[in-house]
């Protein structure tokens, strides 16, 4: 008997409580749950911030599995410590992007096993071999890290899962969506493809001094050649670990995506995000797809997928919102916008600019150019979409000049129709080319200049919503205003707060009355 498994979702929890993206449910924990269900093992998902203050929950379970990112290490440490205090039995298994620094994690958190890279096939093998029931030999299971005589040991990496396996062998659990509080109001991510097509690399030196020697493989016509860097520089934008960890894109079949969405909608989900590092990589080109901008997007595959999603009854009745987020500017053309518009899937395309300097963009390994971003924003806006543009402050190579160019670009994309500027401070992700570079706090001179401009633009954009009615969905009580409820926009629009208590999932029409900050408006409910 395997016993019951607690899957703890610690994604974005940082040191224990998520402060941003509170309305998002990532696909990782449901993917893990799907593998347990495949083996007939009972499991439940809980967010880490629900479990930490309610330790009695742990008594209902026999094993602990934690899914987390690098930034969540403190929350994971607290979680595992608590588990070991309360439960002296069972196995502790860790996985997710946190495993990109396996030695550190094994030494500090000491799980029974760490799943590195893609988790499904490794977890599948662990369960087949009886990992939960006994102390099995781990040394020949690819993709696993563990402590051997108290020393971290990493097995050989596991080969990437194929598109076919992602579509047919491993299905994320849909039943376990009900484990999430207020899931009816949350953005539920459904993975449509894994990996990224940007196999360019940064020209800045890595922290150990390794640097590009201009072999030209990054620009080779042969897609296999682009994967091979003689200097072992991680592929992709220097700040990102996606292509290095997850490889080139592999798409799921439309059948598997539509089935998953259908089951989620039948359970009461209202907001679905089609998750991909780049949506326009869906079924694009032939494998391995390592050129981020060529060939163009596969519009017939996209049209087919969106058409089938649109014909689900809850979507065609207008009670569910399906959205697309990340898109590469160089692929976002007029034809793409027309196809999305025709599919009636409204979208806030999330377009990464990162820096307003073309030179800086190339040096960090980014694809496309600032002009591509302005063009993509104009195209999106001309088709009534509300694009978000992303920048990063504190990147290696940032100067007064690149900061000034970024300010000018923020203004240009705002004029071109960007709905919102999203500015992040640079984080040195393990597994990325910029691992170990100093991080940004957004408090230094350049960071503050960028933050002020982004806030100014975002506030102006929010003012355009004053007196307008926005359809939203009640989520949870406001943590700062007693007696108020947080309301997420059902389609596009700002985060709102309204007076009164509404249960999660209630659809509301809200008239916006005041801009409270660059990220929040208040309003009154005009219709339920």
Judged by the rule CB under 6 A, the positions of this chain that interact with ligand SF4 are 201, 212-218, 229-231, 233
Q: How far is the CB of 431 from ligand SF4 (least distance, A)?
A: 16
295: cis peptide before it, omega within 30°? Answer: yes
Q: What separation in angstroms does the CA of 311 have from each of 258, 324, 498?
A: 10, 17, 33
Q: How far is the CB of 217 from ligand SF4 (least distance, A)?
A: 4
Residue placing its CB nearer to ligand SF4 in the complex, 222 or 335: 222
Tell me if 34 sits within 8 A of 173, measured CB to CB.
Answer: yes
Residue placing its CB nearer to ligand SF4 in the complex, 14 or 431: 431
Q: What separation in angstroms does the CA of 78 have from each of 8, 33, 104?
A: 12, 22, 16
206: cis peptide before it, omega within 30°? Answer: no
Residue placing its CB nearer to ligand SF4 in the complex, 213 or 311: 213
Structure tokens at 503: 């249960």
Residue 401: count of CB within 10 angstroms of its CB: 12
CA distance 53 to 70: 22
CA distance 406 to 427: 18
Residue placing its CB nearer to ligand SF4 in the complex, 91 or 366: 366
Q: How far is the CB of 226 from ligand SF4 (least distance, A)?
A: 8
Q: What separation in angstroms does the CA of 157 have from each of 119, 440, 514?
A: 11, 32, 53
Residue placing its CB nearer to ligand SF4 in the complex, 229 or 265: 229
Checking phi first, is residue 140 left (phi over 0); if not, alpha (psi -120 to 50) or beta? alpha
CA distance 54 to 58: 8
Q: How far is the CB of 210 from ligand SF4 (least distance, A)?
A: 9
Residue 439: count of CB within 10 angstroms of its CB: 12
Structure tokens at 387: 């694009």
Residue placing its CB nearer to ligand SF4 in the complex, 178 or 227: 227
Tally of CA atoms within 13 A in the half-sphere of 127 that contains its CB: 23
Q: How far is the CB of 290 from ligand SF4 (least distance, A)?
A: 11
Residue placing its CB nearer to ligand SF4 in the complex, 96 or 365: 365
Q: DSSP for 415-458?
A: HHT-SEEEEEE----TTSTTTTSPPP-S-SHHHHHHHHHHHHHH
Residue placing its CB nearer to ligand SF4 in the complex, 214 or 445: 214
191 alpha carbon, distance to own chain's centre: 10
Residue placing its CB nearer to ligand SF4 in the complex, 29 or 292: 292
Q: How far is the CB of 283 from ligand SF4 (least distance, A)?
A: 27
């Amino acid at each position: 008997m395997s016993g019951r498994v607690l899957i703890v979702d610690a994604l974005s929890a940082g040191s224990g409580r998520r402060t941003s993206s509170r309305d998002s449910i990532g696909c990782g924990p449901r993917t893990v749950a799907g593998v347990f269900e495949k083996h007939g093992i009972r499991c439940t998902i809980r967010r880490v911030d629900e479990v930490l203050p309610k330790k009695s929950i742990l008594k209902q379970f026999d094993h602990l599995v934690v899914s987390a990112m690098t930034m969540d290490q403190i929350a994971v440490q607290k979680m595992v410590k608590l588990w070991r205090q309360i439960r002296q039995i069972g196995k502790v298994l860790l996985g997710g992007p946190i495993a990109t620094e396996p030695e550190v994690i094994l030494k500090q958190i000491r799980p029974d096993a760490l799943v590195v890279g893609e988790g499904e096939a490794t977890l599948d093998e662990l369960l087949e071999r009886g990992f939960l029931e006994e102390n099995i030999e781990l040394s020949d299971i690819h993709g696993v890290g563990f402590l051997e005589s108290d020393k971290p040991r990493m097995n050989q990496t596991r080969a990437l899962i194929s598109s076919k396996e992602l579509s047919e062998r491993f299905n994320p659990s849909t039943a376990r969506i009900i484990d999430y509080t207020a899931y009816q109001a949350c953005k539920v991510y459904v993975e449509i493809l894994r990996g990224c097509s940007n196999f360019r690399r940064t020209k800045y030196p890595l922290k150990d001094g390794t640097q590009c020697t201009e072999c030209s493989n990054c620009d080779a016509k042969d897609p296999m050649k682009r994967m091979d860097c003689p200097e072992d520089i991680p592929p992709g934008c220097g700040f990102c670990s996606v292509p290095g960890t997850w490889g080139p894109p592999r798409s799921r079949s439309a059948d598997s995506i539509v089935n998953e969405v259908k089951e989620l909608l039948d359970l009461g989900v209202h907001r679905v995000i089609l998750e991909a590092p780049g949506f326009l990589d869906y079924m694009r080109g032939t494998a391995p797809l390592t050129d981020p901008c060529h060939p163009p997007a596969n519009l017939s595959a996209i049209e087919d997928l969106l058409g089938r999603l649109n014909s689900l009854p809850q979507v065609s009745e207008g009670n569910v919102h399906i959205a697309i987020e990340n898109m590469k500017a160089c692929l976002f053309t007029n034809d793409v916008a027309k196809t999305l518009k025709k599919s009636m899937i409204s979208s806030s395309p999330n377009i990464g600019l990162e820096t307003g300097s073309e030179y800086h963009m190339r040096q960090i390994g980014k694809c496309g150019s600032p002009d591509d971003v302005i063009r993509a924003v104009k195209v999106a806006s001309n088709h009534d979409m509300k694009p978000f543009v992303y920048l990063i402050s504190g990147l290696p190579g940032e100067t007064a000049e690149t900061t000034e160019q970024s300010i000018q670009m923020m203004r240009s994309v705002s004029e071109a129709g960007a709905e919102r500027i999203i500015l992040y401070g640079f984080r040195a992700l393990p597994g990325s080319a910029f691992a170990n570079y100093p991080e940004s706090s957004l408090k230094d001179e350049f960071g503050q200049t960028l933050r002020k401009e982004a806030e100014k633009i975002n506030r102006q954009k929010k003012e355009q919503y004053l007196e307008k009615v926005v359809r939203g969905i009640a989520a949870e009580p406001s943590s700062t205003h007693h007696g108020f409820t947080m309301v997420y926009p059902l389609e596009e629009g700002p985060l709102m707060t309204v007076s009164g208590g509404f249960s999660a999932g209630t659809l509301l029409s809200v008239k916006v009355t005041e801009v409270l900050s660059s990220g929040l408006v208040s309003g009154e409910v005009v219709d339920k």
